[in-house]
Amino acid sequence: MANDASPLLPIRIVPDPVLKARARAVAAADAEQVRTLIPRMFAAMYAAPGIGLAAPQVGVGLRLTVIDLMPDEKPTPIVLINPEIVAASDALATREEGCLSLPGQYADVTRPARVTVRYQDAEGARRELTAEGLLSACVQHEIDHLDGVLFVDRLSALKRNMILRRLAKEQRQKRDQAGGR
């Protein structure tokens, strides 16, 4: 999807401060940047590999996220610009979540089982999506990123701290190994 000349966008890793900042709404003036960013975000997400990526995860503070659950191994890309949850079910669902910004870290997160999201698509058309199951969790996870919230922020302090310490240790080991060559 991305132009072969474009290097892959690097995915920011915790504790990068951009991940804790609230992204601003995409405005008409951002149209060109968003148009070139969308295929590059999909390329970075597929290469990772992941099923969702928010613009702050690649260092861009805009309310933009891309998702592709690849049902039946077929690309089914979804672009959400300025998404907002307009309805959420009272019923909850718990599923294991991970995040490209917290590589190798997973935990069970409880969220509304069904959400309806209002957003603009890549062409700027207003749309609404009602999501259940994995798509619901993914949409909520990515919108959280736009608000500076990570999935670990939805865990107990004990679980969050265990995951963040483990990630920091793994990242240190990775840097040490890279430096030792």
CA–CA separation, 156 vs 51, rounded Å?
25
Contact by Cβ (8 Å): 140, 152: no
Helix residue ranges per DSSP H, 48-156? 133-146
Contact by Cβ (8 Å): 65, 55: yes
Helix, coil or strand: residue 22: coil
| Closest of 49, 50, 78 to residue 66, by C-alpha | 78
Would you call 142 a catalytic residue per the annotation?
Answer: yes
The tokens for 136 are 């619901």
Contact by Cβ (8 Å): 38, 122: yes
Point out the catalytic residue in the list 32, 128, 142, 170: 142
Q: Which residues are catalytic?
A: 142
